[in-house]
Structures are given as structure tokens and as C-alpha cells.
Amino acid sequence: MSICKDDIGDVVLDSARLCLTRSEGRKVTLAEVAREAGVSRPTVYRRWPDMDAIIRALLTREVLGVINAVTETTPLRTADFDATIDLVVRVVGALREDELVASLWREQREFMTPYVFDRLGTSQESVLAILADTIARGQDRGEVRMGDAKKMASMVLLITQSAIQSRALVETILGDEWSVELHHALSAYLRRPPVPGTAVN
């Protein structure tokens, strides 16, 4: 099969995803990915130096793909406050159930942990940009409290990331109610307080 140069990247990432999910998140080699993709190892090395780089690119694509899928019918930029919170919670739910993300957290903690404690990954930076833009738009509409949109986005990222990564800690307590509680937490953090003397819905 002949692969167009512009398509090689997606073919390799598709193959990496297949290899990783097939191994249930356990480590695979770049040679396995190249073989699955039907390309040579030098072809892969020209774009990614190692498997870690491939996984980072794959995770960025996966996370942004989940966000796009959830917000396809109701874009974040047009949603009102409650709809925005609903969409964020749905994105968290989709990432909690995502086969690739879940398997990597389960089997490659040493790879994933630095993005919890030490540094932001590309996917997290992309999510921060989306959240900051969404928060700023909510502020412009008078729905979100005033404040530094980037700092507020950072806190939302911490809250939602915890709901994905630390779910097992409180699974027996929250059960299926986790989404309701997360909705309350985000709403309380972001909602603009009522102006004194005005009616509260």
C-alpha cells in the first residue's frame, strides 16, 4: 500500500493507538508500530525520535478528538453557562472511559505521572487554551465571575484532571454521582455571584 507523505503521521499514530490498545496499555516498541503502519523505522524516526514522543502526539490527538466529538453539536463558544459546564463534565466522562487514556494510566504510570506533578503536556496546554477562551467568553456574557481567565482555567484543569486520574480513590463513595458533584463544583467555582438586590433564579 502506498502512503502519501502527508498521511504518514496519522497512519503511524493510528497504528500506535492500535498497538497500545491491543496490548492493554503495556509498552510497545517503535518497530512494532512501524510494522503495523507498513512503513520503515527510519520513516518513523524522521518524525518522532522514540515511542514517548509518539505517545505524547497520540495523547494530544486523542484528547482534542474527544473534546471535538463532545462539542460537535454544541460548540463551547456558543453554549450558555449551564450548557458549558455540562459539556466540560461530558468531556471528563468521555476521557474517563477512553480506552487509550485509561489503559495508559493503568499500565504506564511512570510515563503519565510527570504530567500530573512536574510539567504540562501539549494536550494539557491545548485544553488550558480552550478553557481560558471559554471562560473569557463567559465573562464577556456576564455569566462567569471576573478574574484572570488563564488562572481560572488552570484551576478547572486541576479539578477535572483529578476527576479523571484519581477516580479510583472515591469510586465507592461517589459511584455514578461523580458527574453531578463535578457539575456542582465547577458551577460554584465559575458562576458570577448575583448582584445584591437582584432576584436569584
CA 19 from centroid of its chain's CA atoms: 21
Q: What is the pLDDT of residues 125-163, one digit of tens each?
A: 999 999 999 999 999 999 999 999 999 999 999 999 999
pLDDT at 137: 95
Q: What is the pLDDT of residue 1?
A: 42
Reported confidence tier of residue 8, pLDDT bands at 50, 70, 90: confident
Q: Which three cell numbers stand for residue 15?
A: 497504528
Length, in residues, of the chain: 201
What does pLDDT average to over the chain?
Answer: 91
Examine the pLDDT at 2 and tell me if it is beyond 80: no
Contacts 24+ apart (CB under 8 A), 186-190: 186/85, 186/88, 186/89, 186/156, 186/159, 186/160, 187/81, 187/82, 187/85, 189/152, 189/155, 189/156, 189/159, 190/81, 190/85, 190/135, 190/138, 190/144, 190/145, 190/152, 190/156
Q: Which residues contact 142 (CB under 8 A, 6 or more apart)?
A: 192
Does residue 194 register a pLDDT over 60?
yes
Instruction: Name the band, by pLDDT with cuts 50, 70 and 90, for residue 111.
Output: confident
